[in-house]
Structure 1
């Protein structure tokens, strides 16, 4: 029996929806999730590559991503870091690292 989409899928959906609210047509071109745990928390570290047509909306959205509220059902987005941005050929591509923690 399936429990539904995992944190990686939910995170990608959340990023795409959040970008769309800022008129950014976002694509997740690569993604990898690694399980993570501390003494008190369980979650995952996500490494994503995000791509969008380069315009003011995309540049602004990526620039504000580290401070964004990203609701992911059943998880808390504990940290977002934009580690690399490349602007070329009319696109903006960002490598992003996200830490999610399971709720409850």
Structure 2
């Protein structure tokens, strides 16, 4: 059939454990952010444009925090296996490198 070493993965995902206390603190922070947003939203008429800007900034921060929680609650560490790549590919292609310099005199002299 095929090469048995070709079936070996090039990387491995290792899920990491999260402390429950950290998740509770994250939920408390989200609750506080949402309560601040509700407070600012219901008091926009009495405070004007400045509170509208603060509300929009805090809304963006809250949405960013919620999206970040999705990543923080499922942490993964990747372990790479470069030796598996050598076993799968007989010869690796050549790599061309272009190195730039900040000095135009050195660039012309080479």
Q: Which TM-score band applies after superposition, normalised by the shorter structure?
A: under 0.3
Decide which structure has greater helix share: 2
Higher relative contact order (CA 8 A, sep 6+): 2
TM-score scaled by length of structure 2: 0.25
Decide which structure has greater strand share: 1
Larger Rg: 2
